[in-house]
Amino acid sequence: MSSRKRELGKWLLYKWFYRDVSLRSYLPPTRPLTTENLDIYLQRYRSIYLKPVAGSRGQNVMRIFIHKDGTYGLHRENERPRSFSNRSELHRTILQLTRSRTWIVQRDVHLATIHDRPYDVRVMMQKDEHEQWQCTGICAKIAGPHSAVTNIARSHGRVVSLADALRQSHGYTAWKSSRMQQKLCKLGFNACKRLEAYQAYSEIGLDVGIDKTGKLWILEENTGPSHALFAHLADQRTYLHIQKVARARKIARRTHRAKKG
């Protein structure tokens, strides 16, 4: 069996996705973190995110922003935001927090909110027993109090259905929510197709932001996505379906290997 390639990481994945015209418009502007890129993006967008290239599940993510009075703010995971009176002080702090890793700087897409808490959407993609991609579940992850990230475990947030999230944040009807679900599934299929041009996967969890205008943004991809995330939904049918698809795929693969052996 051939060895697997290394995972791309956030910066190489951004460039990999950017070369696909079906995905390009869904990517928030992103660059490697340098002092120059930090200043350019901060002045251009007023609010940005710093993310470790090899990080996952929202760990160590920071939001940097400019207050109305021209001072700077830094919001790190579940900590209270910190303020800085000048850029040099901000630079020194960021250097201390980021020196041990490679990071990216990314535009803040201003996620839609529910009761003033941002949320994003997990699109669960799985291969079935015929090795065909299926969109098996979608849910919304609402950030916990004072959190800079939407990861449920890190932010102590909660999970709701897509329809509930869209109704509360955008006032969507059931019909509009269904249309949004179709768009999210299509984006999931396009992302899986692009990722498989790099190497094969069995499951992909795509984290997609919905901004306040309803535009979609690809925020993250997970190659070992949690099934348990969907167990937090009040309706357990999606979680049970995800588990059923995973079991059927594993059985089919074992059967195939046994026949070859």
Contacts of 184 (CB under 8 A, 6+ apart): 121, 123, 135, 138, 162, 208, 216
- Alpha-carbon span 204 to 208, nearest angstrom: 12
Task: Give the mean pLDDT of 243-250.
Answer: 97
Q: Tokens representing 66?
A: 């400019």
pLDDT single digits (tens) 167-222: 999 999 999 999 999 999 999 999 999 999 999 999 999 999 999 999 999 999 99
Note the pLDDT of residue 159: 95
Write down the mean pLDDT value for the chain: 92
Q: Residue 104 half-sphere exposure, CB side, CA atoms within 13 Å?
A: 20
Phi-psi region of 259 (alpha: psi -120 to 50; beta: other; left: phi over 0): alpha
The residues that bridge with 230 in the sheet, in sequence order, are: none
- Alpha-carbon span 170 to 183, nearest angstrom: 16
- pLDDT beyond 90 at 56: no
Question: Which helix (DSSP H) or strand (DSSP E) does residue 30 occupy?
Answer: strand 30-32
Q: Residue 149 — pLDDT band, cuts 50, 70, 90?
A: confident
Note the pLDDT of residue 154: 64
Phi-psi region of 156 (alpha: psi -120 to 50; beta: other; left: phi over 0): left
pLDDT single digits (tens) 37-49: 999 999 999 999 9
Task: Give the mean pLDDT of 152-161.
Answer: 80
Asked if 149 contacts 251 with a C-beta cutoff of 8 angstroms, the reply is no
Residue whose structure tokens are 């003033």: 116
Which of the 8 DSSP states describes residue 197? T
Asked if 207 contacts 12 with a C-beta cutoff of 8 angstroms, the reply is no
